[in-house]
Amino acid sequence: MLDVKAIPASVEQASRIDWGVLIDAYLINAAKVGERFAASVFLDRARAIPDGETVVTPPLRMLSACGDFQLMQSECGRDHYVLVSEYTPSYT
């Protein structure tokens, strides 16, 4: 059973958008490394990765944007992710 309280509000908001494709996962705090992203994942469609786990994506390209959210597609074209937020370093 999914613990809805553990899902960030921004992920819930992005998941309500009709992206026109099946979304494999939603990514928050995504840091770009070349063509890949390291991010915390939520709502993994395969349910193989727990919410909040850190993942590294395959190479991605942006297909479209809706507000601050970006629809990303893997280089092979089979996987789709929504980039919900990007990592912003905080310097002290």
**Domain extent for 75:** 19-83
Given a cut of 60, whether residue 89 has pLDDT beyond it is yes
75 vs 53: CA distance, rounded Å: 22
Residues 17-62 have pLDDT tens digits of: 999 999 999 999 999 999 999 999 999 999 999 999 999 999 999 9
Given a cut of 70, whether residue 11 has pLDDT beyond it is yes
Residue 56 lies in a domain: yes
The confidence score (pLDDT) of residue 42 equals: 98
Residue 73 lies in a domain: yes
Residue 7 lies in a domain: no
Strand partners, 15: none
Residue 81, Cβ density class (10 Å: 0-12 exposed, 13-18 middle, ≥19 buried): buried
Question: Token pair for residue 46?
Answer: 């395969």
**Total structural domains within the chain:** 1
Residue 63 lies in a domain: yes
Residue 4 lies in a domain: no
Residue 11 lies in a domain: no
Residue 2 lies in a domain: no
36 vs 34: CA distance, rounded Å: 6
What does the radius of gyration of the chain's CA atoms come to, in whole angstroms?
13
- The residue to which tokens 């998941």 are assigned: 15
The confidence score (pLDDT) of residue 6 equals: 86
Q: Is the Cβ–Cβ distance between 70 and 23 less than 8 Å? A: no
Q: How many residues does the chain have?
A: 92
Residue 89 lies in a domain: no
Whether this prediction's pTM lies above 0.85 is answered by yes
pLDDT category of residue 80 using cuts at 50, 70 and 90: very high
